[in-house]
Structure formats: structure tokens, C-alpha cells
Amino acid sequence: MTTTRKLRPATQLVHAGTLRSGFGETSEALFLTQGFVYDTAEAAESRFKGEEPGFIYSRYANPTTDMFEKRMCALEGAEDARATASGMAAVAAAILCQVKAGDHVLAARALFGSCRYIIETLLPKYGVDFTLIDGSKAENWEKAIRPNTKALFLESPTNPTLEIVDIAAVAKVANSVGAKLIVDNVFATPLFQKPLELGAHIVVYSATKHIEGQGRCLGGVILSDKKWIDENLHEYFRHTGPGLSPFNSWIMLKGLETLPVRVRQQTESAAKIAGFLADHPAVSKVIYPGRADHPQADIIARQMTGGSTLVAFELKDGKKAAFDCENGLEVVRISNNLGDSKSLITHPATTTHKNLTDEARAELGISDGLLRLSVGLEDADDLIEDFDAALKAAK
Ligand SMILES: *Cc1c(COP(=O)(O)O)cnc(C)c1O
């Protein structure tokens, strides 16, 4: 792009970061290569010294992956990014690259299961202390912060109960001790929430979800300012090798082109389905960030510009009703994944959150009747008819 005008997200997602080869191809090229050749020994020397720009090895950087990273930076308003092989590779690298024995990490307890493993199980093995709190109340962060807190970690909305954390308030707490706030922004998508603008220092994604959008490959990305990446992530990333393959980068890059169209449609359908479920006699509760009855609607209005492609709801008759509903669905498929073009439903208590104790599940509001729905690209009326029939069967 040669324009100096400030372009809107949908336009950036089609054009930003494009690197054209000498052939002038329209679509982004897939550079499926491990390495790069140098015209002379002197050229190799100066590239290794960093005096000449260019690629060295695809564990460090690759032109297709570079396009995906640059397009993500344009969307997120970040200075720099690194794409990773999965969302968990992004979370692990973002935390591990900056902590050492004796440091403390503070996180909300409502986290994706593998993120809890990194904080609760992995970090202590390396002498890093942690505290998990109810992140929905800003004062809990203030109480638990320590002078040696190095990183704070949260997701908002949370999985699976779509609870909200006040990102701007937590960023202030982080700044009070010079710690870095990492936000896992998967559920909000980069379109509906801009953690860096709210004061967060680092944003991570599982690109596996909405960015990929069609259930094919895994990926992740870490975004931050150039200084933090240069000083913390750059060397860690080169030498531990969590980078995204060029092929998967290419899928993600093309996924970004349709992200706004997909997410807008999925959100519109999710709102419609949430409305249908809220009025249904078998449903005791619907949690949807786009509804005025969300308990944290005031924070949502401040920090998000859209609802969600996910809906959480609770059936009055507990586990049996939840299972009957899942088994009665014919279009919506049972799966633990989300952000797919196919609508997917999961029963968190017996799948994604089965490893938590009953007590921990209760703290998070994960009851036996709770279901989490990820809304896809099917016609919303077909999805509503599917639920209508499944909930009749559940009775
Ligand atoms: C899926 C997910 C992850 C992990 O991503 P993978 O790509 O599966 O490794 C992390 N955080 C959240 C919120 C997720 O939904």
C-alpha cells in the first residue's frame, strides 16, 4: 500500500503487510523454505551482523510469516509481533521470556486450562511464584500485586462464563510496580477489543480461533512494543523455536482478509440466538456480552466495541438436560473448539474444565447445566430451529 491515509481495519486486513516478489503476484506468496541464500560471503557476514536487512532462517523469520505479523500489527496498533505455532506457544513464550527465579506472576483464575497449567504448575518448577485471583474485581489485583510481580495475565471475556475484567484498571496496577500486563484477547477478537489502547503491554492470540476461522490449522501471535520484543522475546524466540510454519502463516494471512465479515455475521447470529435462549423456559441463565443484562455491561460499554461470537447458557435441569440438548442438536456439532465457521457446543464441566476441583469449578460459575456455544456461519434461523428442537427433546 502506498497511501498515507489512515485506513480502517477491513482495508488493512486485506492489504497491510503484503510483500510482493518480483513476479508481482496478486495474492500473498507462500515462501515454503527453511533457509535463504546469500550472493557473497560478505553479504552473509553483514546479514548475521544485522547490518543488512534480510532473512536468515525460518526459525527466526520468514517472508510469509512476516506478512502475517505485519498485518496483525496494523490491526492491533502494535509496533511488532511474533507468530507462533499455537496459542499456547504464544502464551508460554510471552510469560517465560520475561520471568526469572524469584519473580512473581499475578493472574486471574478464570483462564483457559493450559494457561493455568503454565502459571500454577510450570512456573513454580523454575522458582517463579504466582497468585491466582478473582480478576473481575479491580481491587483484588491491587491487593495481590507485589514489588517483585513481573507479569500480570488475564483473558476477557473469560472462557467459558464470558466474565469481564477491567483491562484499564489492571494496567494501572501493573504500572504501579513496573510489571507488564499480558492480555489473552481470543474471546474478544482483535476487532472488538484493543488491549494496547486500554494500557496493556502485551497481547496474545490463539490464531487457531477467529483469525483462522475455518477449523484447519493452529497458530498464535504475540504483539507488543518494539522495545519489549527486542529486549525480552527476540532472542528467546530465535533459540527456542516456537515460530509458526510459513504454510500456516499463509492460511492465517488469508483468514485475516475475511475476519471482519465473519466475526460481524457470527456476532449478529450469536445475539439472535442469545435472545432466543433467554426467552426459553428450559434456560435459567444466558450470559452474552452483547446483552444489557450482562452483569458487567458497564465495563463492556467502556472497553469493547462489539458483543461476542460466543454465548454461555445454563439449563435448569443440570447435566442431564445439558447432555440431552447437545445430543439433540443436528446442525450444531459437539466440540471443545471455538471461532470456527461451524457452530460448536461444549459442556465445560465434563470436558475443557473437568480437571478442576468441584470447588474451583463452582468459583468460576461452571455449573453442571452450563453450555458454551461458539456460533458459526450457518443461517441463524437454522441454528435457532436446531436449539428449539433440541430443547424440546431435553424436556
Ligand atoms: C484456544 C485458546 C488458547 C490456546 O490456543 P491453541 O491455539 O489451542 O494453543 C489460549 N487461550 C484461549 C482463550 C483460547 O481460547
Whole-angstrom CA distances from 204 to 72, 111, 208, 209 are: 11, 13, 12, 12
Residues whose CB is less than 8 angstroms from the CB of residue 167 and which lie 6 or more positions away in sequence, other chains included: 154, 156, 181, 183, 193, 195, 198, 199, 200, 303
CA nearest ligand 1 atom 15, residue? 186
Compute, in angstroms, the gap from residue 95 CA to the centroid of ligand 1: 15
Compute, in angstroms, the gap from residue 206 CA to the centroid of ligand 1: 5
Does the beta carbon of 220 sit less than 6 angstroms from any atom of ligand 1?
Answer: yes
Does the beta carbon of 111 sit less than 6 angstroms from any atom of ligand 1?
Answer: no
Query: Given 3-state DSSP classes, what are the helix, strand and coil percentages for the chain, each rounded to the nearest 5?
Result: 40, 15, 45
Q: Domain 260-394, what fold?
A: Aspartate Aminotransferase, domain 1 (3.90.1150)
Closest ligand 1 atom to residue 111 Cα is 13
Does the beta carbon of 314 sit less than 6 angstroms from any atom of ligand 1?
Answer: no
Compute, in angstroms, the gap from residue 4 CA to the centroid of ligand 1: 35
User: Cα–chain-centroid distance for residue 24?
Assistant: 33
First vs last Cα of the chain: how many Å apart?
57
Does the beta carbon of 386 sit less than 6 angstroms from any atom of ligand 1?
Answer: no
Q: Domain 9-30+61-257, what fold?
A: Aspartate Aminotransferase; domain 2 (3.40.640)
CA nearest ligand 1 atom 7, residue? 87
Give per-residue pLDDT as tens, 330-385.
Answer: 999 999 999 999 999 999 999 999 988 999 999 999 999 999 999 999 999 999 99
Map residue 63 onto helix, strand or coil: helix
Tell me which of 156, 159, 189, 208 to substitute to probe ligand 1's pocket, judged by most ligand atoms within 8 Å of the beta carbon. Answer: 208
pTM beyond 0.75, yes or no: yes
**Domain extent listing, the chain:** 9-30+61-257, 260-394
Does the beta carbon of 64 sit less than 6 angstroms from any atom of ligand 1?
Answer: no
Give per-residue pLDDT as tens, 206-243.
Answer: 999 999 999 999 999 999 999 999 999 999 999 999 99
Closest ligand 1 atom to residue 337 Cα is 1
CA nearest ligand 1 atom 2, residue? 206
Quote the pLDDT of residue 4: 86
Each residue's pLDDT expressed in tens, for the chain with a length of 395 residues: 678 898 999 999 999 999 999 999 999 999 999 999 999 999 999 999 999 999 999 999 999 999 999 999 999 999 999 999 999 999 999 999 999 999 999 999 999 889 999 999 999 999 999 999 999 999 999 999 999 999 999 999 999 999 999 999 999 999 999 999 999 999 999 999 999 999 999 999 999 999 999 999 999 999 999 999 999 999 999 999 999 999 999 999 999 999 999 999 999 999 999 999 999 999 999 999 999 999 999 999 999 999 999 999 999 999 999 999 999 999 999 999 999 999 999 999 999 999 889 999 999 999 999 999 999 999 999 999 999 999 997 76
